[in-house]
């Protein structure tokens, strides 16, 4: 089983509009309300691929109830901790030029008691899981070392921990030896203090990244990803697609990694599945969503080069 952690879930409101007018009135052409947050996207794709997973984190208020109802509709198993505060909402406005403007609310305030309940639940769920995926930012009142604490607990049980976060939460977690980290170029620049403008720079950054991470990955968006594994560097190039909405592609990539590892595929097959999932998500208007037939069709079109 794959355990997915979504500490800072959200109600995602996705609007399409003809244009943005600063200081003016914008009339939306369409609106789509979905259960959002990086971890929820990951769990959605894992479930679509037919792998067993369970989702945990914090949810509260009417927004939290809406998200639980959406998860039930998608048949995504979940064991969230109910909190006093209201779960956040986030807005994404898509215009015909392909630009996406996001307004992200801060996460809710999580009390110390609620954090302790989560840790107890996490330890219970950890016994059943083989792979753990934690994705997204930390809500208010949770210390930057919280992910590191979860990683130590997983490592003590011999479980692989895949982490997709940024900033101080990422930097504070590396010392705990996560199995995978997946920062984008800007996030890796902050972590290793070097500039990443091209593939060569990304390879250099991986050589500077901590040996405490088994499989560090630098996400390059539409240009793919550069991966270090067993002292080898791989460049994973996604297939060409008709782009619809790239939001959630990184989460779909993480889901593909988790599923590949859970199925004990060889490392190149794991990379290929992750990249195909990321590309399949970008073909959809809904964030964090793939179709199995698209993933299957894209698999053999992924290019992997050893650098």
pLDDT of 119-131, one tens digit each? 999 999 999 999 9
pLDDT of 271-292, one tens digit each? 999 999 999 999 998 888 999 9
CA pair distance 208, 229, nearest whole angstrom: 14
**Rounded to 5 degrees, what are φ and ψ at 193?**
60, 50
Structural domain boundaries enclosing 68: 2-9+36-85+109-306
In a domain, 163, yes or no: yes
In a domain, 24, yes or no: no
- pTM confidence score: 0.94
In a domain, 122, yes or no: yes
pLDDT of residue 242: 93
pLDDT of residue 287: 84
Q: Cα 274 from chain centroid? A: 12
CA pair distance 92, 82, nearest whole angstrom: 26
Q: ∠ at Cα 32 (29, 38), nearest 5°? A: 135
Listed as ranges, residues in the chain with pLDDT below 50 are: none
CA of 126: how far to CAs of 8, 21, 175, 267, in Å? 19, 48, 20, 24
In a domain, 65, yes or no: yes
In a domain, 147, yes or no: yes
CATH number of the domain residue 54 falls in: 3.40.1190.20
In a domain, 275, yes or no: yes
**Rounded to 5 degrees, what are φ and ψ at 253?**
-60, -45
Residue 160's DSSP bridge partners are 131
Give the number of domains in the chain. Answer: 1
CA atoms within 13 A on the CB side of 188: 27
pLDDT of residue 111: 98
In a domain, 22, yes or no: no
In a domain, 100, yes or no: no
Side by side, which strands form the sheet with 100-104?
A: 30-36, 10-16, 88-94, 100-104
Residue 183's DSSP bridge partners are none
């Amino acid at each position: 089983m794959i355990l997915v952690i979504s500490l800072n879930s959200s109600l995602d409101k996705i609007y399409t509009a003809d244009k943005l007018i600063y200081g003016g009135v914008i009339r939306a052409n369409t609106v789509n309300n979905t259960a959002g947050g990086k971890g929820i996207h990951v769990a959605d794709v894992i479930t679509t691929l037919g792998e067993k997973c369970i989702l945990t984190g914090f949810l509260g208020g009417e927004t939290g109830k809406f998200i639980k109802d959406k998860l039930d509709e998608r048949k995504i198993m979940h064991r969230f901790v109910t909190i006093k505060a209201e779960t956040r909402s986030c807005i994404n406005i898509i215009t015909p030029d392909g630009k996406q403007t996001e307004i992200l609310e801060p996460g809710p305030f999580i009390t110390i008691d609620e954090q302790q309940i989560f840790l107890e639940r996490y330890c219970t769920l950890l016994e059943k899981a083989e792979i753990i995926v934690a994705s997204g930012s930390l809500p208010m009142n949770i210390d930057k070392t919280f992910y590191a604490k979860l990683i130590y607990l997983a490592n003590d049980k011999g479980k692989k921990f895949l982490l997709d976060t940024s900033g101080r939460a990422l930097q504070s977690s590396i010392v705990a030896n996560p199995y995978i980290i997946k920062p984008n170029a800007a996030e890796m620049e902050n972590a290793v203090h070097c500039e990443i403008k091209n593939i060569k720079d990304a390879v250099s950054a991986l050589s500077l990244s901590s040996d405490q991470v088994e499989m560090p990955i630098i996400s390059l968006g539409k240009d793919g990803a550069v991966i270090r594994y067993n002292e080898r560097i791989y460049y994973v190039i996604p297939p060409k697609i008709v782009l619809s909405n790239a939001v959630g592609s990184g989460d779909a990539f993480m889901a593909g990694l988790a599923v590949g590892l859970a199925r004990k595929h060889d490392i190149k097959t794991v990379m290929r599945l992750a990249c195909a999932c990321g590309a399949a998500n970008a073909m959809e208007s809904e964030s964090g969503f793939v179709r199995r037939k698209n993933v299957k069709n894209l698999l053999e079109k992924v290019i992997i080069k050893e650098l």
